[in-house]
Amino acid sequence: MKEVQRRVSAMAVASMILGIVTMPGVFCCVGYGTGVLALVLGGMALIAVHNGDVSKSSAVMAWAGVITATLAMLGYAVYFALVLTTVVG
């Protein structure tokens, strides 16, 4: 039986790239939007993998984008809270 090759998801690649860009960009106030976009694209890519539309290797890239974007945005939230308490307190 011949196995069908599935393509790599462009959304997963974009999510991974945006997630990586979000890490340093979040402290320049440009990474927050890219982080949200990385989360959305990563989620859509994971749904496409679950449906069998794209290859399973796309899931690794999608998870990489989701995890890096989440860590960057959490780091930004902690940084913002520290700055805010320093200014207010």
Please answer whether residues 19 and 69 qualify as being in contact, where contact means their C-beta atoms are separated by less than 8 angstroms: yes
Asked if the structure places residue 61 within a domain, the reply is yes
pLDDT of 68? 94
What's the whole-model pTM score?
A: 0.83
Condensed to tens digits (0 to 9), the pLDDT of residues 4-40 reads 677 889 999 999 999 999 888 766 766 688 889 999 9
Number of domains in the chain: 1
User: The tokens of 57 are what?
Assistant: 């290797």
Tell me whether residue 49 is in a domain.
yes
Residue 83 lies in a domain: yes
**3 found inside a domain:** no
pLDDT digits (tens, 9 = 90+) for 36-63: 999 999 999 999 999 988 999 999 999 9
- Estimate to the nearest angstrom the gap between the alpha carbon of 17 and the chain centroid: 8
In angstroms, the CA 66 to CA 40 distance is 8
Percentage helix, strand, coil for the chain under 3-state DSSP, each rounded to 5: 80, 0, 20
Is residue 4 included in any domain, yes or no? no
Domain that holds residue 64: 10-88
